[in-house]
């Protein structure tokens, strides 16, 4: 699917742009937001860049992160004083994920939507939704090129982060020849892959490594190696001094084992809720498995939680009721 004509025209003609993305933004959301903001400013447009929360600390290296407004207090005057204003929603598959100011944001007209989620639910006036694109960052690049807008180093850096994080560093299915060629152009604009990757992937603490060691020690295999389970306890957090976000990516270890179809990560949270993350490899549908315990998610990544059980009880439930279904 190509960029809709009316979308290009609306962007070209706009003097002011209200720009935002989904709540709990990831690398693609933040990178396409800040990248597009830089591009639009380069086109001499006024930009009101909005995020419900401040930029998460894992992404505190993104250039231009200070553009972000975390309140809508000044939106009224921004829109009032602008002659031609448009709204652009980036990387958001469902208007409810725009957060608490959804209604206020949707009032800005025309409302443009740029997204690549498979499960996208239509909203807004002009939409460009293409699930075959690797990332919203890739789509923003296409728009800039289509409009012959200059791409500054700041814009290139943010778009590179968007594309590289949403493709798992050019590993996921939607990584196309075009994705790689766009990355090449961004590198030509000055982005250094090692510098960016260092910021994204080499930003861990030694406490995380300690916790990793403890969690890997809990690995158990079931069903002749088709299911792999690991767990983390509050005691491990205390001993390692790691932070809750340090477990990001741990479930990829059991998943990486040859022959494993389903990886389960059982977590004892601070509030003593026990949550379970499931990851599939191959054709297994873990969203269906998660529904056994009233959970949900995607085909490849799903989960569920219990507020009234111990970690051992939940593990036993998984072994007794879920693993036999794999």
| Interacting residue ranges for its own copies, rule: CB under 8 A | 164, 167-173, 175-178, 180-181, 183-185, 187-188, 192-194, 197-198, 201-206, 208-210, 212-213, 216-217, 219, 221, 225, 228, 253-258, 260, 281-282
Token couple for 225: 């190696």
Smallest distance from its own copies to CB 320, Å: 22
Q: Which residue has the tokens 């309140």?
A: 71
Smallest distance from its own copies to CB 180, Å: 4
Long-range pairs of 307-310 with CB within 8 A, sequence gap ≥ 24: 307/272, 307/273, 307/274, 309/274, 310/274
Smallest distance from its own copies to CB 210, Å: 7
Smallest distance from its own copies to CB 235, Å: 17
100 or 224: whose CB is closer to its own copies?
224
- Measured CA distances, 34 to 77, 130, 135, 208 (Å): 22, 21, 14, 29
224: alpha, beta or left? (left if phi > 0; alpha if psi -120 to 50): left
Q: Could you give the CA distance from residue 180 to residue 60 in angstroms, rounded to a whole number?
A: 25
Smallest distance from its own copies to CB 302, Å: 16
Smallest distance from its own copies to CB 159, Å: 14
Edge-to-edge strand list for the sheet holding 85-90: 68-69, 46-50, 16-21, 85-90, 111-115, 126-129
Residue 116, SS3 per DSSP: coil
16 or 240: whose CB is closer to its own copies?
240
Smallest distance from its own copies to CB 85, Å: 37
Q: Which residue has the tokens 């930003």?
A: 203
Q: Could you give the CA distance from residue 3 to residue 6 in angstroms, rounded to a whole number?
A: 9
Name the phi and psi angles at 170, rounded to 5.
Answer: 65, 30
216 or 325: whose CB is closer to its own copies?
216
Instruction: Find residue 113's DSSP bridge partners.
Output: 89, 127
Q: Could you give the CA distance from residue 304 to residue 283 in angstroms, rounded to a whole number?
A: 20
């Amino acid at each position: 699917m190509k960029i809709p004509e009316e979308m290009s025209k609306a962007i070209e003609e706009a003097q002011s742009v209200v720009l935002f993305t989904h709540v709990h933004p990831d690398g693609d959301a933040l990178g396409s937001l800040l990248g597009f903001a830089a591009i639009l400013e380069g086109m001499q447009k006024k930009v009101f860049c909005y995020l419900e929360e401040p930029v998460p600390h894992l992404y505190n290296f993104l250039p231009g992160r200070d553009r972000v407004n975390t309140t809508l207090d000044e939106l009224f005057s921004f829109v009032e004083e602008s002659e031609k204003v448009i709204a652009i929603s980036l990387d958001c598959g469902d208007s409810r994920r725009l957060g608490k100011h959804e209604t206020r944001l949707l009032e800005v007209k025309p409302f443009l939507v740029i997204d690549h989620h498979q499960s996208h639910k239509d909203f807004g006036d002009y939409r460009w939704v293409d699930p075959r694109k690797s990332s919203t960052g890739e789509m923003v690049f296409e728009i800039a090129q289509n409009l012959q807008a200059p791409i500054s180093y700041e814009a290139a850096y943010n778009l590179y982060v968007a594309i590289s994080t949403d493709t798992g560093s050019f590993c996921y299915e939607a990584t196309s020849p075009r994705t790689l060629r766009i990355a090449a152009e961004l590198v030509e604009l000055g982005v250094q892959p090692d510098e960016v990757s260092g910021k994204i992937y080499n930003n861990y603490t030694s406490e995380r490594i300690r916790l990793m060691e403890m969690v890997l020690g809990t690995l158990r295999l079931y069903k002749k190696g088709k299911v792999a389970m690991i767990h983390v306890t509050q005691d491990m957090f205390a001993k390692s001094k790691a932070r809750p976000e340090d477990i990001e990516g741990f479930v990829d270890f059991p998943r990486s084992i040859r022959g494993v179809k389903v990886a389960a990560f059982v977590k004892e949270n601070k509030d003593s809720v026990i949550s379970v993350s499931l990851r599939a490899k191959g054709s297994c549908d873990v969203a269906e498995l998660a529904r056994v315990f009233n959970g949900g998610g995607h085909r490849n990544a799903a989960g569920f939680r219990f507020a009234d059980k111990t970690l051992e009880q939940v593990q036993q439930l998984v072994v007794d009721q879920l693993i036999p279904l794999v």
